[in-house]
Structure formats: structure tokens, C-alpha cells
Amino acid sequence: VEAGRGGQVAIIHDSPVTGTVHRITFAELRNRVARLAGALRKQGVKKGDRVIIYMPMVPEALEAMLACARLGAIHSVVFGGFAAHELAVRIDDAKPKCIIAASCGIEPGRVVHYKPLLDGAIAQAAHKPAFCVIFQREQEVAKLEAGRDHDWHAFQYGVEAADCVPVEGNHPAYVLYTSGTTG
């Protein structure tokens, strides 16, 4: 962006399931990531904290990953639509300060209800995240739990963008769980 490439397209999200194509420039991506990082920082997420990302393959998932990296927080992407028990196991292991999730995923011919799975996982888990940020998709608007859940857009409204937090070269960026098929 600083070198003049801000207007170039960084992400092309082409969804054959929804029939939509979105293009995001490098400048737009930087601004969106910095704003989300600022909102997370305002809620107390800092270097070394863990954040679980429970979203489908949408640009907002990438924004969440990069926002965590910007703060030095350690993210863990969990396959969207995982059963509540499997998500609860990861919550108890990672002990996230927050969970960033989508209201749903979309597959050919059906909507996968992420939010009820998330609610069930949090109920089952011994560790409770301080808060959740929910990206409400137009295909399904989920009920938010008062005092815990924040709407993606409202969460970021009027928040000051966050600068990058310096981290050591060996600072972890993410935690990646396998499904057990890797041996």
C-alpha cells in the first residue's frame, strides 16, 4: 500500500454457491484489518491471546486472521460447521479470549447453522471466551447472546484502527489442529 499498490486487487472472492464476486483492494484490506484489530484491542485482545475463528471461506475470515496477526494474537481457524463437541474440545484446549464466527455457512442446497453449534460448544466447554464477534450473513441472521456476542459491523463502528504490534521472530501466529488423518 505504501509503495503505491493500494488500488490493486488483493482478494477476489468468487462464490459459485451464492453467485457473487467481491474484489477487495490492498488499501481496503489494510483498512478493514486495522479496524477489526482496533475493535479487538478495545475489547482487551493483546499479544499472546488466543482467538478462535469459526467461519466459512469468506473474506471476513481472512480479515480476522490478519487482524489477529496485527495484534500479535494467536488465531486458530476451526473448520466451519464442525459439531459442537469438536469445537468445544478446541475451545478448552486453546482457551481463546474471543471467538470470531459467522452466523452460517452456505453449501449447495442448504444453509449450515454455525451459531447454534457455537452456542452448544460454549455451553459444553469448561473454558468460556470473554466475548464473541458474529458476522451476520444475509442468508441467516443469528440471535446474539446479550453480554457475550457482538455484531461484526457494530463491533467495529467508530473504532480507531490498530497499528501492527511488533513480535519476536519465533512468536506463534496460529494454532492448527489436524483432523487426525495426518498420521
Give the count of domains, the chain.
Answer: 1
- Residue 80 pLDDT grade (very low, low, confident, very high; cuts 50, 70, 90): confident
Whole-angstrom distance, CA of residue 81 vs CA of residue 40: 24
Average pLDDT value for residue range 141-151 = 97
- Residue 121 pLDDT grade (very low, low, confident, very high; cuts 50, 70, 90): very high
Average pLDDT value for residue range 81-93 = 93
> In the beta sheet, which residues pair with residue 132?
99, 149
Query: Which DSSP helix (H) or strand (E) runs through 41?
Result: helix 26-42
CB 114 within 8 A of CB 58: no
> In the beta sheet, which residues pair with residue 75?
51, 174
In a domain, 90, yes or no: yes
Query: In this structure, which amino acid lies at residue 166?
Result: P
pLDDT tens digits, 32-56: 999 999 999 999 999 999 999 999 9
Average pLDDT value for residue range 56-75 = 97
Share of the chain above pLDDT 90, in %: 87
> In the beta sheet, which residues pair with residue 20?
15
Task: Categorise residue 69: left if φ over 0, alpha if ψ from -120 to 50, beta otherwise.
Answer: alpha
In a domain, 26, yes or no: yes
Q: Which residue would you say has higher pLDDT here, 175 or 18?
A: 175
CB 102 within 8 A of CB 121: no
pTM reported for the whole predicted model: 0.94
pLDDT tens digits, 165-176: 999 999 999 999
Residues 6+ apart with CB under 8 A from 89: none
Reduced to 3 states (helix: H, G, I; strand: E, B; else coil), residue 7 is coil
In a domain, 13, yes or no: yes
In a domain, 171, yes or no: no
The mean-pLDDT minimum among 27-31, 93-97, 146-150, 176-180 falls in: 176-180
In a domain, 2, yes or no: no
In a domain, 41, yes or no: yes
In a domain, 58, yes or no: yes
Whole-angstrom distance, CA of residue 129 vs CA of residue 52: 9
How high is the pLDDT of residue 3?
87
Phi (first) and psi of residue 24, to 5 degrees: -125, 125
Note down the domain range covering 107: 9-156
Whole-angstrom distance, CA of residue 94 vs CA of residue 92: 6
Rg (CA), the chain: 16
How high is the pLDDT of residue 125?
98
In a domain, 183, yes or no: no
CATH code of the domain containing 103: 3.40.50.980
The cell for 127 is 473454558
CB 31 within 8 A of CB 161: yes
Whole-angstrom distance, CA of residue 74 vs CA of residue 59: 19
